[in-house]
Amino acid sequence: MPTKEISIIDVGHGNSTIIHANNETIIVDCGSHGGGLLQYLQDRNITEIKTVYLSHADQDHIGGLMTLLASKSITVKEVFLNSDSSKSTKLWDDLITILDDKSRQQRITFEVTIHDELPQQTIGEIKVTPVGPTKYLVSKGVSSADRQGRKITSNSISASFVITFNDHPVVFLSGDIDQISLDEIKFTNKRIQADVMVFPHHGGKIEEGDVVGFTKQLLTECKPSTVVFSLSRRKFKNPQPDVIAAVKATNAEIRIACTQLSQRCSAVLPKENPAHLHDYYAKGKHLKECCAGTFVINLDSGINIHPLTAAHQAFIAASAATAICQ
């Protein structure tokens, strides 16, 4: 079994990334209810989670944590999140109620603070470093206004992280940052350059502003060689064509990898089980809805990315007649 790796899990419409090294595990976002995070962990025989970071309060990032907390096979030691006064969902209220109760019983460490000065987490040679939001944005809070008079939303205070291996930046996890949070990253000169970027909003529109301009700015700051879109074939028809066009306009050689096969790229599903997929859990695998599936970066001997580019591209050529990434 691999000992050092980063897995961007196919959880459908949602985000969840697992960082594993030296028998320790960190999770950034947990997908939605039924997203498969628990199944992934059970398949890998992972029973203890050192840290869970929730980038923000959207259900497709937090729902899977409820499943972990209810599981008798998983122990979660600490959870970090930011408060969000705009969220009135039952899921958000239930989650923070459970975390508060477990914290008072000293069964979990529960911290309501993620910002760009929070200390990084280290497991083996892997470091997970928060690069946003700033203390300024967290202090202002959701529904207030930033320096330019723009309304701060849940996405504005979305936490983002750079994951390094032996001090080499491997992955930028963008959460669901927006123009406000990107502007703060640039204002504070935080480095978000990395080989792989998980794109915000599943490749969909942003709440305010120009998504094309935002995409080009984000790609210019990160300079990834691979962009991953964590999405569901069944929801919103992401990624949006103008987002993909903006990614390719920034770097024509960039690799684009979607966890599931967008309806924009193929109206029909492949008849055969794709051979290029990693054998780890992927939500779309059993219905043949995967494109890249669960995206795994193995670090045991260098930096090795799966699925392999050539095999993935061959699948796209054979199974995605209207692929917008080509």
pLDDT at 195 over 90: yes
pLDDT at 207 over 80: no
The stretch 267-291 carries a mean pLDDT of 95
Tell me, yes or no, whether 325 lies in a domain: no
pLDDT at 34 over 90: no
Tokens of 154: 């849940």
Residue 286 neighbours by CB under 8 Å, 6+ apart: none
Place 35 in a pLDDT band, splitting at 50, 70 and 90.
confident
Whole-number pLDDT of residue 264: 93
Determine which helix (DSSP H) or strand (DSSP E) holds 121, and give its type and residue range: strand 121-123
Tell me, yes or no, whether 224 lies in a domain: yes
Structural domain that includes position 88? 4-319
Task: Give the C-alpha separation, 169 to 172, whole Å.
Answer: 8
Whole-number pLDDT of residue 216: 96
Contact 204, 236 (CB under 8 A): yes
Task: Give the C-alpha separation, 302 to 299, whole Å.
Answer: 5
- Percent pLDDT > 90 in the chain is 93
The stretch 223-244 carries a mean pLDDT of 93
pLDDT at 236 over 80: no
Select from 295, 323, 316 the least CA-distant residue to 15.
295
Tell me, yes or no, whether 168 lies in a domain: yes
Q: Which residues pair with 304 in a beta bridge?
A: 298
Task: Give the C-alpha separation, 4 to 123, whole Å.
Answer: 9
Task: Give the C-alpha separation, 80 to 54, whole Å.
Answer: 6
The stretch 319-323 carries a mean pLDDT of 95
- Percent pLDDT > 70 in the chain is 99
pLDDT at 209 over 80: no
Tell me, yes or no, whether 209 lies in a domain: yes
Whole-number pLDDT of residue 79: 98
Whole-number pLDDT of residue 55: 98
Per-residue pLDDT tens digits for 126-185: 999 999 999 999 999 999 999 999 999 999 999 999 999 999 999 999 999 999 999 999
The stretch 259-281 carries a mean pLDDT of 95
Per-residue pLDDT tens digits for 50-68: 999 999 999 999 999 999 9
Select from 299, 304, 281 the least CA-distant residue to 21.
299
Number of domains in the chain: 1
Least confidently predicted of 169-173, 190-194, 230-234: 230-234
Q: Output the pTM of the full model.
A: 0.97
Task: Give the C-alpha separation, 27 to 80, whole Å.
Answer: 10
Contact 115, 138 (CB under 8 A): yes
Per-residue pLDDT tens digits for 65-90: 999 999 999 999 999 999 999 999 99
* CATH number of the CATH domain containing 38: 3.60.15.10
pLDDT at 235 over 90: no
pLDDT at 1 over 70: no
